[in-house]
Structure 1
Amino acid sequence: MASCFLCKGTRAGALTNGMTFQVQSALIAAIVNLCFAVYFLLTNRKNRLHRTFSYLSFNIFLWNLGFFLYKLTGSNFWYRVLFVGSLFIPPSALHFTLAFLSVKNPTEWKLLRYTYAMSLGLLVTVMTPFFFMREWSILTVCYFFPVLYVCLYLIYKKYSQTESATEKAKLKYMLIGGVVATTAGITDFLPGMGIQVPQLGNLALMVYMYFISQSIVKYRLLDLHEIIGRGIVLVTLASITGGIYGALVLWIGNRPGLAIFNTFIASLLILLLYEPIKMKVQDRANRIFLRESYNLQNILSTLSRKMARVLTVDELLSLVINTIKEFPRVTHASIYIFDEREVVFKLVEAIGDHRERIPKTLETKILMEYLKEKRGALILEELERELKENGTLGAWNPGSMEPWERESASPLSTPTAAICRLMKSMEAQVCLPLISQHKVLGLCNLKDVGLEGAYSSQEIALLMTVANQAAIIIDNYKIYEAMKRKDRLAALGEMATGLAHEIRNPLGAIKGAAQYLQLEPSAEEKREFLNIILEEVDRLNGVVSQFLDYARPFKKNITLCEINAILDKTLSLIKARGIPEQIEIVTNFEQNLPLLHGDAEQIKQVFLNLILNAIQAISEAGTSGTAETSRTGGKLVISTTLHSYPDKVGTYISIKFADTGIGIPVDHIDKLFNPFFTTKKEGTGLGLAICHRIVEGHGGTIEVSSQIGKGSRFVVKLPVQ
């Protein structure tokens, strides 16, 4: 610490001649602590930790300022100011320690009241003659240092009780730094007892207060490692620049006329050399003190260059996973990609022994809403701290299950708690969202089982840069695929017109000839074959018509549509055709749905196709004997509901068709909407492709889920405009 009570004697000692190192460092310490006090008071004065640290910094400022001005002027006023500051350092230090450690023990808070009372009692004597007595100074010192060591004892007590590795490491640094700073402060008093040693109290105090300030602002452990590394860089740079000025000052000697010239030369040299020296020193310091961060930066730089040459999502995922395997501080990793059809995140890649434990799909609603507000990496350690500060973890028992693992606990209904549970389920310390054009396209999760706060803020910023680059590649690939599909359809449309003309002309001739032959009496025995020719001609003509419907440019007759009414009309049409007795159709329509803009006839065509497909699947299940339908009869449930989009503003109507049919094989689901793909003996493979095109033309989506022997579910989502 920074004063020397014992050296003052009955009159606090004679004034120091000249600006000693202790006096100059007192001024610097005063300025630094004033900055701390103002900064923490302005940033968040409602936070008790910020308030108490600001109060402690202000008292240290008063102490150092009073000491500096007293040594400079010899005024009794500044002598009293330095003692006022010093008297309130012990209670403010204890107050900050209790707030920082979140101490709940009333006994320790009672001790705080006693220290304030002691400080106030000593404050009264400042204006009395007792103030200048040597015994008063000794009493102050005997009060000052024991309280500071009590603060260190409380930190040690918390250190021995905590189970968190990150918290334990942070407390260890604080404890060691506190012991060094407090013990260094004693050196300021030894000259007064005739022991000549370097007075390093102010310097140690400045470093320690900076360390504490950063541990408040940057909660994470590895950030403190960075602070140490950066501190070494700053000291080295300051030494080099100071050396340049010092060398020129020595060269000037007693030639004051060269002072201005040398100042100009020194400034020029520093401006020219500062950046290259800084880069060289920083690179060397990173290699020595932050070797893992340095290696990560090189790995990510190499990955970024390689990603620039990647064209497909599969290549990208392979490159990212192979790169992650090279990094020793990643023991677990997983990548989820957003599936627009099913509106879920699907697991596509994983590293580590947790692949079978983590979820294969993730619901999007809470995650999307949270990421829209957060817009950055999700760090489990920070989310846990947020829950703790909000009181959600107040009842946490380290020996029991963590709070966010207990779904039924009422305080855990907050979005932060839900995201904590989600990250725990994915076994992720850091979740990097892949965001492009305000769309979350995927998630990349990382974990190092050896350390809780495994990645520093700078490392996470580097990882997010690469994640954003990956998101742009994924987004560009999707746009490219959509354009390719559009180009294929355009080419298909041109080809379809010519193909239809070439096919229909001979079909017309074949049909005319067959009809003519039917009229001849001699053709009676050939009538059966002629009927087959006519039926096949009509079927082929129907295929050509569907092909043209699919290939020609999409046009809509836009009107205001009522979805429930369209479904009722579709069901009436199907019932008029006849429904097998063993099939039951159940409707569950939400009433008072908003009207939407669309082509009612095209939407009816989609519903008709989906219902007929469901009826056929149920019938096949009943005859095959492989599904539950064969025992209980088939059921088709049609329901409508109104929903809000999880990732954007607006609502949509969901129309669900759930049947108990034979089911769809997993490897067929992704191909269902491809033209000419069919599993039916007499199908054309264009029905669902046309449905998909109509729904997309209305700005909607179709989602499919199925299980063999259990049934299928088709969900049409149409936006309400």
Structure 2
Amino acid sequence: MDIRTQSALLASIIGLALGVSMLLRPGRPRVLTLYSVFALTVAGYYLSLFFHNVFPAADYPWASRISVGATILVASLVPGAAVAFFLEFLGVSKGTHLVGRRLALLSAVLGLTVAVTPLADKLWARVCMGVWVLGTLLTYGSLLLHRVRTTESRIEKFRLAYLAIGAGAAILFSALDFLVSFGIPFPTLGSVFSTLYLFFLAHTLLRLRLMDLHELLGKIASQTVLASILAAVFTVLTAWGKENTGLFLFNTVVAAFVILILLEPLKVKVEEMVVRIFFRERFALLDSLGSLRARMANVIEISELARLVLDTLHETGRVTHASVYLLAEDRPGYRLLDSRGPLPVAFLDTAVARGLLFAAASGQKAVLRENVERRMATMRLQVVEGKRYRDELKRLNDTRAALVQVKAGITVPLMGNDRVIGFLNLWDERVPEAFASDEIAIILEVAERLATVLENSKLYEKIRERDRLAALGEMAAGLAHEIRNPLGAIKGAAQCLDPAQFQGEDAEFLEVIVEEVNRLNGVVTAFLDYARPMKQSFGTTDLNEVVTRTMRLIQNDVPSNLQLAVELDLMLPRVDGDAEQLKQVLINLVQNAVQALGSREGRISVRTEKPERFGELRSAGAEFVEVQVSDNGPGIPPDQHPHIFVPFYTTKQKGTGLGLAICQRIVKNHGGSISVQSKVGEGSTFVIRLPALPTEQPPASEAPFVEGLPAGTRPSQSLPMPDELRDGARPAQREPRAKRERRKRLRA
């Protein structure tokens, strides 16, 4: 069996494998089916050519005649299969499809005519048939070249150029194979190039990424070099023992062992050498990412970690935009931690990140902009539309909008505790499809390591905060003792004096002394409350009940000029919490609202609800409930928002600056978050988010029915403060203005 026969058999086997593998794919599109037909037709041509070479006409006349006819017939079917596939692949007009079908039918008729008649034995007839087949195949090559010239996408232009060059090489070397029929010696390369081109087409259909095609070329080069080295090893070890059968078998076994030992290390070295020689920038990126993974293990600070990752990526020269976003604690969304290149959006709201969150929830490791845009273009060409089509197109639009805002070509969700704790965003705006598959794989490893270190950093911060508070508590206990003893003496001495014995401002001095001692004692008490470890008693808690009891407790302390209202979600899931501590948070927030409103007419509302936004993206254990405390007071200036939860920060004349800090600490100990939404002149809303108990969520079938309520609406109950309970809430008669001014001067 000569090399021509062996190469024909190999081409038929590979073509058959490629065609069958595409047919076995579930839910395959039409283009994959047409590719399978094309690959199987090429495989059939080389299989019939194999049988023609195996059964020469001199020894097997009938078998040779049948194989010649089969070769001609199957060869005439190749142009039809090729044109049908490429017309579908390129998405040309229906008129061109009609011309292609007619051309394929004409080719099949001509092939059948030659195959079943004595013309099959004529050399000139076979040559004419070969010229017709090759000429017809050139028509789809011209279609590729035309599409290369007319396409506007640079990515598509490169991809189609590769396909056109490969098609030209396969047709050229297949034509040169016929030189042997005229007695002109020429190596058989047509079957090799045709097989490579079929594999190249399959890779293009499945990946549709330009960098993957570069990667394919690199792998072909590395595998060729590796095969040559291993073949040389085998030849050297077996060539000198051919005359002695036993020695030859022994050398063959030795060569097999040597090849098995050298295969893996040689493969790694050869691939590294090929990448280093032909893809220098890619080698530099892979090397930098590999060293980055090792250096990340020694970093615990979040800011330092972000700086290390972004600097390393930016210094490779393969990234023009890089950024890291982390989950915000004060409101739903992701805040920019650090970036390199043009500044992206500072805050990514959860509504904007909906598409990215859905991709992460569906198990997608990375989101590539080119894949999103290509899928959107494909869907817009579809004729059938429905709810599923509209939902997917909306998700793709949301995803692309988020990628544009964070200036990312590839976004990797950072996962921690089964939730998205941040995003790593990279983009090289100079080239499309900037990262190959192996590069993306290492980027995913870096992102996974980054997420792990971020989680460890948060644990480290919690431990450090616990130790700091423990030390502060010990110091505060001693300090409070030293301060309260003289305060008690001062207050006791002042109270022993009889105010009736003093006249004018002297009596007010006594009142100021007692009042300021009480205020200082309150500051010390608040400091101790903040510093000492909290004693918590967690259990299944109904937030609606906590809110109702708290409002009944404080409603008598609300001035008559203020309206207090409560709105409860009757289907609110329960939480795992300490009811007394949650009551303390609510009292503090309502008291702050009362102080902010002052003597003006106003409204304070407390509302419970379970937000429905993005509920489909969370697991059962990641549901949250909210308590909102709102007022229509003067609001909080934007420059004060980052500081209001900082201990000892206050804008009040008599404030300690610990109320909101204690509230935040309590809520965080419950696994939740507290945030503020405020506009100057419109009021403020403090939002408390607590994780719900999944086993306590009432099913939809048990939801209470409220007459007149639309289907699917969560029932709620409003509880305004009754007027008859306000009698005791009347403020005392205000002291004269002159007296208040004197008090201010005395404190100053």
TM-score bracket, normalised by the shorter chain, equals 0.7 to 0.9
Equivalent residue letter for 2:348: T
Q: Which deviates the most, 63-72 or 360-369?
A: 360-369
Answering whether residue 603 of structure 2 is matched by residue 615 of structure 1, we say no
- Residues in 2 aligned to 1:494 and 1:382: alpha-carbon distance in whole angstroms: 58
Paired residue secondary structure (1:714): strand
2:435 paired residue number: 455
How do 1:38-77 and structure 2 match up within 5 A?
38-44=20-26, 46-74=28-56, 75-76=63-64, 77=66
Q: Answer yes or no: is the 8 Å Cα contact 1:435–1:441 preserved in 2.
A: yes
Answering whether residue 155 of structure 2 is matched by residue 163 of structure 1, we say no
- Deviation string 1:511-534 (CA, Å, 9 cap, x unpaired) is 444444449979999765444443
Equivalent residue letter for 1:101: L
Q: Which deviates the most, 519-528 or 320-329?
A: 519-528
2:412 paired residue number: 432
Shift of the 120–514 alpha-carbon distance from structure 1 to 2, 3 Å rule, reads same
Match of 1:226 among 207, 215, 224: 215
C-alpha displacement at 1:171, in angstroms? 0.2
Equivalent residue letter for 2:234: Y
- Residues in 1 aligned to 2:400 and 2:381: alpha-carbon distance in whole angstroms: 12
Q: Which deviates the most, 242-251 or 594-603?
A: 594-603
Q: Answer yes or no: is the 8 Å Cα contact 2:543–2:574 preserved in 1.
A: yes
1:6 paired residue number: none
- Residues in 1 aligned to 2:266 and 2:551: alpha-carbon distance in whole angstroms: 79
Match of 2:611 among 623, 629, 643: 643
C-alpha displacement at 1:225, in angstroms? 0.9
Q: Answer yes or no: is the 8 Å Cα contact 2:302–2:454 preserved in 1.
A: yes
Paired residue secondary structure (1:43): coil
- Residues in 2 aligned to 1:557 and 1:275: alpha-carbon distance in whole angstroms: 57
Q: Answer yes or no: is the 8 Å Cα contact 1:370–1:415 preserved in 2.
A: no
Shift of the 536–698 alpha-carbon distance from structure 1 to 2, 3 Å rule, reads same
- Deviation string 1:268-304 (CA, Å, 9 cap, x unpaired) is 3323433343333222211121111101012222333
Equivalent residue letter for 1:605: Q
2:692 paired residue number: 720
1:352 paired residue number: 341
- Deviation string 1:146-177 (CA, Å, 9 cap, x unpaired) is 22111111111221221111111000010011
- Residues in 1 aligned to 2:349 and 2:624: alpha-carbon distance in whole angstroms: 21
Q: Answer yes or no: is the 8 Å Cα contact 2:80–2:101 preserved in 1.
A: yes
1:392 paired residue number: 380
Equivalent residue letter for 2:436: S
Q: Answer yes or no: is the 8 Å Cα contact 2:369–2:408 preserved in 1.
A: yes
- Deviation string 1:617-643 (CA, Å, 9 cap, x unpaired) is 3449x7xxxxxxxxxx75555443322
Q: Answer yes or no: is the 8 Å Cα contact 1:165–1:451 preserved in 2.
A: no
- Residues in 1 aligned to 2:146 and 2:231: alpha-carbon distance in whole angstroms: 42
- Deviation string 1:530-578 (CA, Å, 9 cap, x unpaired) is 4444333433443344344442433237464252x65455555555334
- Residues in 1 aligned to 2:262 and 2:228: alpha-carbon distance in whole angstroms: 13
Shift of the 596–83 alpha-carbon distance from structure 1 to 2, 3 Å rule, reads same
C-alpha displacement at 1:339, in angstroms? 0.9
How do 1:654-693 and structure 2 match up within 5 A?
654-666=626-638, 668-693=640-665
Q: Which deviates the most, 301-310 or 143-152?
A: 301-310
C-alpha displacement at 1:502, in angstroms? 4.7
C-alpha displacement at 1:249, in angstroms? 4.1
Shift of the 245–561 alpha-carbon distance from structure 1 to 2, 3 Å rule, reads closer
Equivalent residue letter for 2:584: Q
- Deviation string 1:346-384 (CA, Å, 9 cap, x unpaired) is 22333334x27x464332444323212143111111122
1:208 paired residue number: 197
Q: Answer yes or no: is the 8 Å Cα contact 1:559–1:600 preserved in 2.
A: no
Shift of the 218–365 alpha-carbon distance from structure 1 to 2, 3 Å rule, reads closer
Equivalent residue letter for 1:701: S
C-alpha displacement at 1:692, in angstroms? 1.9
The unaligned stretches of length 5 or more in structure 1 are 1-18, 396-408, 623-632
Answering whether residue 545 of structure 2 is matched by residue 556 of structure 1, we say no
2:357 paired residue number: 368
Q: Answer yes or no: is the 8 Å Cα contact 1:186–1:201 preserved in 2.
A: yes
How do 1:132-531 and structure 2 match up within 5 A?
132-134=121-123, 136-353=125-342, 355=343, 358=345, 360-363=347-350, 364-389=353-378, 391-393=379-381, 413-518=393-498, 528-531=508-511
- Deviation string 1:422-447 (CA, Å, 9 cap, x unpaired) is 21333321112222343322222222
Equivalent residue letter for 2:397: A
2:518 paired residue number: 538
- Residues in 2 aligned to 1:97 and 1:336: alpha-carbon distance in whole angstroms: 43
Shift of the 247–204 alpha-carbon distance from structure 1 to 2, 3 Å rule, reads same
Equivalent residue letter for 1:392: R
TM-score computed with the length of structure 2 as normaliser: 0.82
Identity within the alignment, %: 35
C-alpha displacement at 1:344, in angstroms? 1.0
C-alpha displacement at 1:464, in angstroms? 1.6
TM-score computed with the length of structure 1 as normaliser: 0.85
C-alpha displacement at 1:231, in angstroms? 0.7
2:710 paired residue number: none
- Residues in 1 aligned to 2:197 and 2:671: alpha-carbon distance in whole angstroms: 60
Q: Answer yes or no: is the 8 Å Cα contact 1:392–1:412 preserved in 2.
A: no
Q: Answer yes or no: is the 8 Å Cα contact 2:611–2:626 preserved in 1.
A: yes
Equivalent residue letter for 1:325: H
Shift of the 63–692 alpha-carbon distance from structure 1 to 2, 3 Å rule, reads same
1:401 paired residue number: none
RMSD: 3.2
Paired residue secondary structure (1:361): strand
Shift of the 413–83 alpha-carbon distance from structure 1 to 2, 3 Å rule, reads closer
2:711 paired residue number: none
The unaligned stretches of length 5 or more in structure 2 are 57-62, 384-388, 694-748
- Residues in 1 aligned to 2:552 and 2:417: alpha-carbon distance in whole angstroms: 44
- Residues in 2 aligned to 1:528 and 1:427: alpha-carbon distance in whole angstroms: 65
C-alpha displacement at 1:472, in angstroms? 1.7
1:7 paired residue number: none
- Residues in 1 aligned to 2:312 and 2:499: alpha-carbon distance in whole angstroms: 77
User: Aligned residues, how many?
Assistant: 674
Paired residue secondary structure (2:690): strand
How do 1:43-122 and structure 2 match up within 5 A?
43-44=25-26, 46-74=28-56, 75-76=63-64, 77-116=66-105, 118-119=107-108, 122=111
Paired residue secondary structure (2:92): coil
C-alpha displacement at 1:69, in angstroms? 2.7
Paired residue secondary structure (2:24): helix
- Residues in 2 aligned to 1:526 and 1:220: alpha-carbon distance in whole angstroms: 87
C-alpha displacement at 1:468, in angstroms? 1.7
- Residues in 2 aligned to 1:694 and 1:281: alpha-carbon distance in whole angstroms: 59
